[in-house]
Homo-oligomer: A and B are copies of this chain.
Amino acid sequence: MPNLDMFFRPRSIAVIGASNKPLTIPYRIIQNLIDYGFRGPIYPVHPKEPFVKNLPAYRAVTDIPGPVDLAHIIVRRDLVPATIEQCAQKGVRGVVVNTSGFSETGPEGRELEDRIRDLGRKLGVRIFGPNCQGMMNTDPDVSLYSNFTFARIRPGHISILAQGGGVAEVLNSFLSESGIGIRMYASNGNACDVSIPEILAYWNEDPGTRVIVLHVESFADPKEFLDVVSRIDKPILGMKSGTSPEGARAVASHTGRLMAEDTLSDVLFDECNIVRFRTSQELCEAAVALASQPLPRGRRLGIVTNAGSPAILATDEAVAQGLEVRDPAEATQAKLREKLFATSSVHNPVDMMATATPENWATAVEAVMTDGSYDMVLASFITPFFVDCAGVARELVRLHEAHPELPFLVCLMTNPLWDETRKILERGGLPAYYFPEAAARAAAALARVAELKRRAPGAHPELAIDRAAAERALAGAPAGFLPGEATAALLRAYGIPLAAERWCATPAELIPAAKELGFPVVLKAHAPGWTHKTEAGAVAVGLADEAALRAAADRMAARLGAGVRWQVQEHVAGGTEVVVGTVRSGPLGAFIMFGLGGILVEAVRDVRFGLAPLTDAKAERLIDGLRHGELLRGFRGRPPVSRTALVDLLVRVSRLAADHPRIAELDLNPVLAFEDGGRTRAVDARIRLAE
């Protein structure tokens, strides 16, 4: 665990470049530190002024009498290196460089940034930023608001790390103003030294942090991210922005660093069990639930309401999010029928009508909580004038306390006149949403986090690999596309099933080869450097007999000339087309892709990515994660395909890509999958080698 106490638990702080002008960043940092009640000395550093705000100022950080844990640096960018040297001399352990004008502005700034990073490392001074806001910690032992922004924070259990300072504030202000509060906060800008993964690892050890909210615009070091963040066990709710080309352009213009491939974010988030959200609002709504509620065992949601129509909105959204909204057990329904008004509906949602009393609510919620059919409960509560709403809220809190293992959310549809009702829920640790769909989405987010936490990492199955054959297939191969025969040999060495085939040097050998395989056959002509055989007229399919084969070979020979190798392949009929591929990209090595095949589905782009080598469990996730996976599980009279065979295939392909870094790209397209796993096979393969 990295020790970042100097940033999040400093005992004294210097503000270098302090100013008495209220509308400046350093003045605001001092004001915020004072206003939020920082529990230690604050030392403004100013070349001339004797006081800044109400505090004595010092000419230089080295003039400060007591020890200094942390220093904010807000000086001209060219003065930053000298200032860091002075800090080191003073024994300051961490500096926050708020000053901008570094790598976000171009090569010159990048150079300066590298210089201060190296300087800090040499001198043993950790650097936060540059071009950053700072940090906060609501732990009352520290009460740190070391930042120039404006959110009115309050203590809570959610820690926020956002690369963009603006997004950090959107998340922070929302959580604090809605009464949920935050624990720690960091926006570390260009992050030349203290990195996002380092901060996350530090928070993982912070007892006050229950949930981490993470916003990233780019991954400075994907490998560090993977290695560090995949070990974190607290729930992380994540968001990656710059996912549209237009948005990515804006990221680039702002931070100077961009990993445009959104795939990388998906894979990294998945590997690190980070639940990804599409919008900041949905992220906040989910964080609110996670900050106070336990994780559910499953996806079954019970809804109790005093107004039918909003509960229907919640139901629609819950179902759209993959939750199950089933009726209570028969015994529960009987009990509810007996105890509630006759006009109530005892299905799910249990609908008691607007006149429901606190006692009605208690009866219904208790019945649903103890029914045994539900993993989560949602109270959809609209506040009529003629009901003791505070009493209802008290009953809800009581039942929440009596069943602490069951996640319980409230949709409170009201206005500030019922502030007392809201406060009772808030004090009782019950998250309250205004819009019914938001409450349902938050319930679904709880289920998603729980599922990620429960996921088995899986194992790397023992594979019988003919390593010698693999080495032979690759030996001496130049960069570019691997010849067809070597490609087949390499894949077979890894036990990857291919359509049966024979390789022939001359057309004369084709007929005997085809007879061995049995008609109909496919004929392919290969020459070095070809990649798109179909377009070159070098593939003939469905050759039903010798005459057809001979005619096809004659046509190709006439057209393609000498030097081709002939591949006669069994004609694989039927099956469901899928595609498997790998691509090596950046420090994470090979990515493996699995998806549905066929041109129409190409438009739908139903594919999933993972990192090679895959465990069996991860291979299963790629398969099960397709949006239209029903096509693999049997659909409209089509048989299901063998999942076991696909898992085996994916594990083998990913192992091949991981074992051989020279493989830049690999494509099995299509692979035909069958109900009988033994019949699953790739019918076309392509491997490109790097230099």
> Are B343 and A385 in contact (CB-based, < 8 A)?
no
Q: Does A630 contact B (CB under 8 A)?
A: yes
Q: Is the CB of B22 within 8 A of A386?
A: yes
- Of A100, A166, A628, chain B has the most CB atoms within 10 Å of the CB of A166
Contact residues, A471-521 vs B (CB, 8 A)? none
Contact of A329 with B by CB under 8 A? no
Evaluate contact between A382 and B166: CB separation under 8 angstroms.
yes
Query: Whole-angstrom distance between the alpha carbons of A635 and B217 in the complex?
Result: 31
Q: Contacts A317-B279, A601-B600 hold; do A312 and B247 have CB atoms under 8 A apart?
A: yes
Interface size class of A (residues with CB under 8 A): 35 or more
Contact A309 B166 (CB under 8 A): yes
Distance (whole angstroms) from the CB of A361 to the closest CB of chain B: 15
Instruction: Annotate A589-620 by CB proximity to B: 1 below 8 A, 0 otherwise.
Output: 00000001011111110000000000000000
Q: Which of B101, B244, B312 is A319 in contact with, Cβ under 8 Å?
A: B244
B351 in contact with A253 (CB, 8 Å):
yes
| A-B contact list, 20 entries, CB within 8 Å | A24-B386, A101-B343, A152-B415, A165-B307, A167-B310, A170-B434, A170-B435, A174-B435, A241-B309, A241-B312, A241-B316, A246-B316, A250-B349, A254-B308, A279-B317, A280-B437, A600-B631, A602-B635, A602-B636, A604-B604
Is B602 touching A600 in the complex (CB atoms < 8 A)?
no
7 extra interchain contacts, Cβ-Cβ under 8 A, other than A25-B386, A173-B415, A598-B598?
Answer: A28-B385, A149-B385, A166-B311, A169-B413, A244-B319, A250-B349, A600-B628
Count identical subunits in the complex.
Answer: 2
The residue that A600 contacts in the complex, of B149, B309, B316, B596, with Cβ under 8 A, is: B596
Q: Among B250, B326, B415, which residue has its beta carbon within 8 angstroms of that of A347? A: B250
A281 vs chain B, min Cβ distance (A)? 4
CB of A227 within 8 Å of the partner chain: no
Q: Given known contacts A105-B343, A150-B385, is B413 in contact with A312 (CB within 8 Å)?
A: no
A56 within 8 A of B: no
Q: Is the CB of B246 within 8 A of A325?
A: yes
Chain A 430-447 against B: per-residue CB contact (8 Å), 1 yes, 0 no?
A: 000011111000000000
- Tell me the chain A residues, 81-140 only, with Cβ under 8 Å from chain B: 100-101, 105
Q: Which residues of B have CB within 8 Å of A100?
A: 343, 353
Chain B residues with CB under 8 Å of A416's CB are 177
Asked if A638 CB lies within 8 Å of chain B CBs, one says yes
Give 7 nearest A-B pairs by CB, closest first: A164-B309, A166-B307, A254-B308, A244-B319, A23-B386, A247-B316, A247-B315
Q: Verify if A458 is at the interface (C-beta below 8 Å from B).
A: no
Q: Which of A163, A254, A312, A628 has the most CB of B within 10 A?
A: A312
Report the minimal beta-carbon distance from A350 to chain B, rounded to whole angstroms: 10
A318-371 contacts to B (CB < 8 Å): 318-320, 325-326, 343, 345, 347-349, 351, 353-354
Chain B residues whose C-beta falls within 8 Å of the C-beta of A320 in the assembled complex: 244
Check A312 against B28 for contact (C-beta < 8 Å): no
Interface: A243 (CB within 8 A)? yes
Question: A383 to chain B: which residues have CB within 8 Å?
Answer: 150
Residue A674 lies at the interface, judged by CB distance under 8 Å to chain B = no
B437 touches A247 (CB 8 A): no
| Cα separation A325 to B311 with both chains bound (whole Å) | 37
Of all chain B residues, the one with the shortest Cβ separation from A21 is: B386
Q: In angstroms, how far is the closest chain B Cβ from the Cβ of A599?
A: 7
Residue A539 lies at the interface, judged by CB distance under 8 Å to chain B? no
* Contact (Cβ within 8 A) A150 B319: no
A183 CA to B93 CA in the complex, in Å?
A: 61
Q: Determine if A174 and B434 form an interchain contact, defined as CB atoms under 8 angstroms apart.
A: yes
A313 is an interface residue with CB less than 8 A from chain B? yes
With CB as the reference atom, state the residue of chain B lying closest to A535.
B637
Check A46 for interface membership: any CB of B closer than 8 A.
no
Task: Let me know if A164 and B253 touch, CB within 8 A.
Answer: no
CA of A434 to CA of B28, assembled, Å: 23
* Bound form: Cα–Cα A249–B382 in Å: 21
- Chain B residues whose C-beta falls within 8 Å of the C-beta of A249 in the assembled complex: 347
In the complex, the chain B residue whose C-beta lies closest to that of A389 is: B150
* Contact pattern, A 153-191, Cβ under 8 Å of B = 1, otherwise 0: 000000000111111111001101100000000000000
Q: A280 touching B435 by the CB < 8 A rule?
A: yes
Q: Does A450 contact B (CB under 8 A)?
A: no
Name the CB-closest residue of B to A441.
Answer: B279
A417 within 8 A of B: yes
In the bound complex, residues from chain B placing their C-beta under 8 Å from that of A387 are 23
Smallest Cβ distance from A264 to chain B, in angstroms?
16
Kindly list chain B residues whose C-beta atoms are within 8 Å of the C-beta of A585.
none
A151 within 8 A of B: yes
A604 to B605, CA, bound (A): 11
CA distance A316 to B415 in the complex (A): 32
User: How far does the alpha carbon of A166 sit from the alpha carbon of B413 in the complex, in Å?
Assistant: 9
Q: Would B384 and A635 count as touching, CB distance under 8 A?
A: no
Q: List chain B residues, Cβ under 8 A from A23.
A: 385-387
**Chain B residues in 8 Å Cβ range of A319:** 244-247
Q: Is A148 an interface residue (CB 8 A)?
A: yes
Q: Is the CB of B251 within 8 A of A435?
A: no
- Which one of B162, B173, B250, B602 lies within 8 Å of A351 (CB-CB)? B250
**Contacting pair A251 B150 (CB below 8 A):** no
Determine whether the beta carbon of B280 is less than 8 Å from that of A436: yes
Are A310 and B603 in contact, with the CB atoms below 8 A? no
- Residues on B with C-beta less than 8 A from A630 are 603
What residues of B have a CB within 8 angstroms of the CB of A168 in the complex? 309
Please measure, in the bound complex, the distance between the C-alpha atom of A383 and the C-alpha atom of B148, giving whole angstroms.
12
The residue of chain B having its C-beta at the shortest distance from the C-beta of A346 within the complex is B253
Closest residue of B by beta carbon distance from A177: B415
- Find out whether the CB atom of A163 lies under 8 angstroms from the CB atom of B309: yes
Interface assignment of A584: CB less than 8 Å from any CB of chain B: no
**With A309-B162, A349-B250, A635-B603 as contacts: A413 and B170 at CB distance below 8 Å:** yes
A643 at the interface (CB under 8 A from B): no
| A171: min CB distance to chain B, Å | 10
List chain B residues, Cβ under 8 A from A170.
310, 313, 382, 413, 434-436
Tell me, yes or no, whether A681 is within 8 Å of chain B by CB.
no
Asked whether A263 is an interface residue with its Cβ less than 8 Å from the other chain, the reply is no
- In the bound complex, what is the Cα–Cα distance between A27 and B385 (angstroms)? 10
Taking A28-B386, A149-B384, A635-B603 as contacts, is the C-beta distance between A345 and B253 under 8 angstroms?
A: yes
Cα-based distance from A501 to B623 in the complex (angstroms): 44
